[in-house]
Amino acid sequence: MNNDNTPPNEDQLVWGIHPVYEMLAARPRAIHEILIEKGKTGRKLQDIIELARRQQVKVKFTPQLRLAGSRQMNHQGVIARIMPFATMAEEEFLSLLAQAGTPFVLALDSIQDPHNLGAIIRSASAAGVTGLIVPKDRSAPLSGTVAKISAGALAHLPVCQSTNLVRMLQRLKEQGVWIYGTIKEGGVSIYQTDFSGPLCLVIGGEGKGIRPLVQEQCDFKVTIPMQREMDSLNASVAAGIIMFEIVRQKGL
């Protein structure tokens, strides 16, 4: 921190009433302190203060909240200083899936826009996804921006950062999980695909989609049928459409 009123870079922050409350409720030990702008009032801010006291998380009141050296954030009067987001080791994640019965996994290959990543996480949580796999390198970091866009869902969704996505998909297959890769064209329509079993849905990056080596691990390749000629859908929009088709078929 540069001074008492200036928080560190945004990778160390979660901001906004709902994301901070959800982080505080789900992972209070990950929070160093909560900064609240003096003069800000409201029932939801009071809820954060009361929950922080119950969770024994430090609350500090400051005259002005702003992010040093960056754009202005819509913090709504509250910022949480956090430790790096906790992710699950591969073995721990695979154990979680084994206990899930019929897991519904989401794997993201090279999603590098934090807004897309946050939106996908929000939809994944709403769709009841068992867990999320992201590459350690080719991915947007799990930053405050991602937490904000996810509307707090990041605090609740189990996430595994894999050093080798291809190998991780192979291990899922060894556990009886079917791999479905989304491609722009040439795949089977999602509305003609059976998503009833244990599965992992792979969503590719914003520009080039799923990398060839990752595609080779996919048991099925699926496409969203579109009525007009388009280059492609936004990654978060495509992910949401397919995830909720899976939800519909599973009757969740």
Could you read off the pLDDT of 220-234 as tens digits, one per residue? 999 999 876 666 678
**Domain definitions of the chain by residue range:** 10-82, 90-250
- Per cent of the chain over pLDDT 70 is 90
Residue 16 region by backbone torsions, left for phi larger than 0, else alpha for psi between -120 and 50, else beta? left
Tokens for 218, please give them. Answer: 């996919």
* Length of the chain as a residue count: 252
Q: Do β-strands 199-204 and 178-182 pair in parallel, antiparallel, or remain unpaired?
A: parallel
Which one, of 159, 198, 158, 207, lies nearest residue 180 by Cα? 198
Predicted confidence (pLDDT) per residue in 164-221, tens digit: 999 999 999 999 999 999 998 889 999 999 999 999 999 998 778 899 999 999 999 9
Q: How many helices (H) and strands (E) does the chain have?
A: 8, 11
Q: Is the pLDDT of residue 110 over 50?
A: yes
Going by pLDDT thresholds of 50, 70 and 90, the confidence category of residue 132 is: very high
Please identify which residue in the block is written with the tokens 């079917």: 178
CATH topology for 10-82?
A: 60s Ribosomal Protein L30; Chain: A; (3.30.1330)
Range from 30-44, 57-71, 137-151 that averages highest in pLDDT: 30-44
Q: 177 and 199 in contact (C-beta within 8 Å)?
A: yes
Q: Do β-strands 31-37 and 159-162 pair in parallel, antiparallel, or remain unpaired?
A: unpaired
Distance, in Å, from the CA atom of 235 to the CA atom of 116, rounded to the nearest integer, reads 7
* Among 17-26, 52-61, 69-78, 136-145, the least confident range: 69-78
Going by pLDDT thresholds of 50, 70 and 90, the confidence category of residue 69 is: very low
3-class DSSP state of 60: strand
Going by pLDDT thresholds of 50, 70 and 90, the confidence category of residue 148 is: confident
**Homologous superfamily in CATH for domain 90-250:** SPOUT methyltransferase, trefoil knot domain (3.40.1280.10)
Q: What does the pLDDT read at residue 73? A: 64
Q: What does the pLDDT read at residue 6? A: 46
Tokens for 215, please give them. Answer: 């595609």
Average pLDDT over residues 30-39: 87
* Among 96-105, 130-139, 169-178, 221-230, the least confident range: 221-230
Q: What is the mean pLDDT of the chain?
A: 86
The phi and psi torsions of 219 (rounded to 5 degrees) equal: -75, -30
3-class DSSP state of 85: coil
